[in-house]
């Protein structure tokens, strides 16, 4: 049975926060999936046919939007599928997720885009906006039909999981994107610098006796992508930023007026490469956990807005695929820990305000994607996608995780900022 996401609901007694305003204790009325009224608490009359949810003084924000998810569906559903992945997303406060195209088959054709959209409508607990591949098969040999893919529902274009290795192909893709108002999401990696690297190049890699991945692997690729974006006028979004050099280049691009945005993930501002000695293979991802200096640069870039958004890069893997540091897969899950890790790092510590964090997780991601349906805000006429949360401290357990895969270093950590409920179009999905 397909979800309609067009329910009616009255949320009462919430502290309403979006990415621009803290409006205090409020009520929110959602009719047929759309926000119909926002008013101070007690000022909206209960409609007889409307379900009532009492937030009991907890926070309400526009449901989060993840710019960077791997749902592994089609093709790798032993790790995750659209049903379980979106269930995890809803439990993490997300109303919308943006899955990357490195599936099997690759999301480089209309049929696979349609499969993702149809499956999400039938089984999903969130809205799903698929990213299509820039090149066919992610092989950096031939461009996909970007205009046709966009017309059938692709929200953006990326070869994430791999870079587009050919300069001329990326330039052509950005020219098409600029002419048609499309978003390019770059997996910025220079493979010749990565080599057989496993974790960040540095003292920890030397101590563990494993090959390292230098910062230049990311920095050289970011430099190239920004150069092409400046030449073409494309909107370039840099995924999973991890280095001080990449941060500085994005900062300089913004100062020049280029349409360049960037994201990072909590693992890059919570951990550094030294932590791998404790967290093991759940500290292996690409780009890798960097030095403490890089981590501090990421923290500052999130605070000052150089990095526009916080994403998950949710990358589920089966246990046997994460068993060994050398041969194990890159990536960790994150849909249920990102908000809490971010709240703990930035809001509970006083480094950022709560509206600023909501901006990084809801409001700005909606703007980056070019959504014009009110996602990212709590306003009359906007979609009724709402997350309710508290500032409560809790410990994330393996039993809490709704993903098929549990490969995350956040299990067992004490975190602040607990998701209480998620609503999509007024329908409670968590």
Q: What is the CATH number of the domain that holds 163?
A: 3.20.20.140
Question: What was the pLDDT predicted at 20?
Answer: 66
Share of the chain above pLDDT 90, in %: 95
Question: In Å, how far are 52, 104, 375, 393, 414 from 427, measured between CA atoms?
Answer: 11, 31, 15, 26, 30
Q: What share of the chain is helix, strand, coil (3-state, %, to 5)?
A: 35, 25, 45
- pLDDT per position as a tens digit, 103-117: 999 999 999 999 999
DSSP per-residue codes, 293-321: HHHHHHHHHHHHTSS-EE---B----GGG
Amino acid 370: pLDDT = 97
Lowest mean pLDDT among 41-50, 310-319, 362-371: 41-50
> Is residue 152 situated within a structural domain?
yes
Specify the residue for token string 């919430």.
14
Q: Which residue has the higher pLDDT, 23 or 161?
A: 161
**Nearest Cα to Cα of residue 354 among 393, 390, 395, 311:** 390
- Same domain, yes or no: 363 and 417: no
In a domain, 234, yes or no: yes
Same domain for 50 and 94 = no
**What's the domain count of the chain?**
2
320 and 241 share one domain: yes
How much is the average pLDDT of 30-36? 96
Q: Do residues 264 and 390 share a domain?
A: no
**pLDDT for res 122:** 97
* 1 has pLDDT over 80: no
Question: In the chain, how long is the greatest CA-to-CA distance?
Answer: 67
Q: Is residue 359 over pLDDT 70? A: yes
Q: Which of the residues 118, 313, 372, 379 is marked catalytic?
A: 313
**Domain coverage including residue 235:** 64-369
- Statement: residue 4 has pLDDT above 90: no
Say if strands 260-264 and 235-238 run parallel, antiparallel, or are unpaired. Answer: parallel
Distance CA 157, CA 170 (A): 11
Q: Residue 388 falls within a domain, yes or no?
A: yes
Backbone Cα Rg of the chain? 21
Residue 313 is a catalytic residue = yes
Amino acid 168: pLDDT: 98
**Two structure tokens written together for 11:** 């949320």
Whole-number average pLDDT of the chain: 96
Return the pLDDT at 49.
84
The reply to whether 217 falls in a domain is: yes
Final residue before a domain boundary, out of 348, 369, 390: 369
Q: Which of 369, 396, 413 is the last residue of a domain?
A: 369
279 with 401, same domain? no
Q: Contact, 62 vs 385, CB < 8 A?
A: yes
Domain check: are 52 and 125 in the same one? no
Residue 286: per-residue pLDDT: 97
Average pLDDT estimate for 405-424: 98
Averaged pLDDT, 122-141: 98
Q: Burial, 24: exposed, middle or buried (Cβ in 10 Å; 0-12, 13-18, 19+)?
A: exposed
CATH code for the domain of 17: 2.30.40.10
Task: Indicate if 224 and 241 belong to the same structural domain.
Answer: yes
16 and 69 both lie in a single domain: no
Please report whether residue 377 resides in a domain: no
Cα(141)–Cα(329) distance, integer angstroms: 25
Which pLDDT band, with edges at 50, 70 and 90, does 45 fall under? confident
Q: How confident is the model at residue 22 (pLDDT cuts 50, 70, 90)?
A: low
Residue 151: what are its φ and ψ, rounded to 5°?
Answer: -65, -25
Per-residue pLDDT at 3 exceeds 90: no
User: Can you give the pLDDT at residue 48?
Assistant: 82
Final residue belonging to a domain, choices 345, 369, 393: 369
119 belongs to a structural domain: yes
Phi-psi map region of 377: left, alpha, beta (phi>0 left; psi -120 to 50 alpha): beta
Instruction: Please give the model's pTM, rounded to 2 decimal places.
Output: 0.97
pLDDT at 276 over 90: yes
Same domain? For 75 and 199 the reply is: yes
Co-location of 364 and 387 in the same domain: no
**42 & 152 share domain:** no
Residues 293 and 239 in one domain: yes
Taking the C-alpha atoms of residue 193 and residue 41, their distance in angstroms, rounded to an integer, is 57
pLDDT value at 158 more than 90: yes
**Residue 4 included in any domain:** no
Report how far residue 251's alpha carbon sits from residue 376's, in angstroms, rounded to the nearest whole number.
Answer: 24
pLDDT tens, position by position, 168-202: 999 999 999 999 999 999 999 999 999 999 999 99
Is 382 in contact with 375 (CB distance < 8 Å)? yes
Residue 19 has pLDDT above 90, yes or no: no
Q: Quick check: is 225 in a domain?
A: yes
Mean pLDDT confidence for 215-221? 98
Buried b (16+ CB within 10 A) or exposed e, 155-177: bbbbbbbbbbbeeebbbbbbebb
The confidence score (pLDDT) of residue 47 equals 81
Helix axes 292-304, 244-255, angle to 10 degrees: 30
Least-confidence region, from 43-47, 98-102, 398-402: 43-47
Predicted confidence band of residue 218 (pLDDT cuts 50, 70, 90): very high
């Amino acid at each position: 049975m397909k979800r309609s996401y067009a329910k009616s609901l009255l949320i009462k007694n919430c502290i309403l926060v979006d990415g621009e305003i803290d409006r205090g204790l409020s009520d929110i009325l959602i009719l047929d999936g759309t926000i119909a009224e926002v008013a101070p608490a007690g000022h909206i009359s209960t409609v007889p046919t409307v379900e009532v949810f009492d937030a009991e003084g907890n926070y309400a924000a526009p449901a989060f939007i993840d710019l960077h998810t791997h749902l592994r569906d089609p093709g790798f559903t032993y790790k995750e599928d659209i049903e379980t992945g979106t269930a995890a997303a809803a439990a993490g406060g997300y109303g919308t997720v943006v899955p990357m195209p490195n599936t099997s088959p690759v999301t480089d054709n209309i049929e696979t885009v349609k499969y993702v959209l149809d499956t999400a409508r039938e089984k999903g607990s969130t809205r799903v906006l698929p990213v299509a591949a820039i090149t066919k098969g992610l092989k950096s040999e031939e461009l996909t039909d970007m205009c046709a893919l966009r017309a059938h529902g692709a929200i953006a274009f990326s070869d994430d999981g791999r870079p587009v290795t050919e300069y001329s192909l990326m330039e052509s893709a950005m020219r098409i994107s600029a002419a048609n108002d499309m978003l390019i999401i770059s997996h910025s990696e220079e493979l010749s610098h990565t080599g057989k690297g496993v974790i960040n190049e540095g003292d920890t890699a030397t101590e563990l006796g494993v090959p390292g991945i230098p910062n230049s692997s990311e920095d050289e690729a970011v430099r190239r992508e920004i150069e092409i974006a400046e030449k073409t006028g494309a909107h370039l979004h840099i995924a999973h930023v991890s280095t001080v050099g990449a941060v500085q280049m994005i900062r300089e691009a913004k100062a020049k007026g280029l349409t360049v945005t960037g994201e990072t993930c909590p693992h890059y501002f919570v951990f550094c490469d030294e932590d791998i000695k404790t967290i093991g293979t759940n500290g292996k991802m690409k780009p890798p956990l960097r030095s403490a200096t890089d981590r501090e640069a990421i923290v500052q870039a999130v605070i000052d807005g150089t990095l526009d958004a916080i994403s998950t890069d949710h990358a589920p893997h089966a246990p046997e695929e994460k068993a060994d540091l050398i041969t194990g897969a890159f990536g960790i899950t994150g849909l249920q820990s990102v908000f809490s890790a971010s709240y703990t790092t930035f809001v509970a510590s006083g480094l950022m305000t709560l509206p600023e964090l909501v901006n990084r997780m809801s409001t700005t991601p909606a703007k980056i994607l070019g959504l014009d349906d009110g996602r990212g805000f709590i306003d009359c006429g906007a979609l009724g996608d709402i997350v309710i949360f508290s500032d409560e401290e809790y410990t994330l357990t393996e039993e809490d995780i709704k993903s098929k895969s549990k490969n995350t270093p956040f299990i067992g950590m004490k975190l602040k900022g607990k998701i209480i409920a998620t609503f999509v179009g007024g329908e409670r999905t968590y």
